[in-house]
């Protein structure tokens, strides 16, 4: 049903629209996205990575379907504070085989709705913080390559061209 879209699919560059209704259809979509994310061995997946233009993403930082209690869904997330920028390597399911250093806040505060429609405040650091920022970037039409230094972009240019040819 769903598949992960790769760069340069245009949906990856659109700003996602807010979710206005949390219903059984959204819950089924979320379940399908978790299955797809696990199959791709990812820790997170934004809705627009499966060509759904709405503001939500999923995470399981353990990337383990056996740890379903670690599954999290974030609907209409808003980052309210960022602290202490650090640089670390990231990859992306929509940019297979491309990795590079991305500078992000080490610690953030954010709000999002859960699947029950409850607004929740979060504090996140380390991998949780990085994953939330990465997936929120997706919802804003940004990719990790937008954060790469020019030297790194030149190095990965052949891989980006290959993805464009496959598209």
Q: Which residue out of 21, 28, 123, 135 is catalytically annotated?
A: 135
Token match 């030149």: residue? 154
- CA atoms of 102 and 80, how far apart (whole Å): 20
Token match 């049903």: residue? 1
User: Are 111 and 78 within 8 A, CB to CB?
Assistant: yes
Q: Could you tell me the two tokens for 16?
A: 């996602």
**Residue 21 bears catalytic tag:** no
Rounded (10°) CA dihedral 131, 132, 133, 139: 110
Question: Which alpha helices (H) appear in the chain, and where do they start and end?
Answer: 24-39, 126-139, 150-166
Residues with catalytic function: 135
């Amino acid at each position: 049903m769903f598949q992960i879209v790769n760069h340069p699919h245009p949906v990856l560059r659109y700003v996602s629209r807010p979710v206005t209704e949390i219903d059984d259809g959204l819950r089924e979509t979320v379940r399908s996205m978790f299955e797809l994310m696990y199959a791709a061995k990812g820790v997170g997946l934004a809705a627009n990575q499966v060509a759904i233009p709405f503001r939500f993403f999923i995470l399981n930082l353990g990337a383990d379907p056996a740890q379903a209690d670690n599954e999290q869904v974030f609907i209409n997330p808003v980052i309210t504070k960022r602290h202490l920028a650090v640089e670390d390597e990231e990859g992306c399911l929509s940019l297979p085989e491309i990795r590079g250093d991305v500078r992000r806040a080490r610690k953030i505060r954010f709000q999002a709705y859960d699947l029950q429609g409850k607004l929740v405040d979060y504090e996140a650091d380390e991998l949780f913080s990085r994953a939330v920022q990465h997936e929120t970037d997706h919802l804003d039409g940004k990719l990790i390559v937008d954060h790469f230094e020019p030297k790194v972009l030149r190095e990965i240019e052949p891989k980006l061209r290959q993805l464009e040819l496959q598209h």
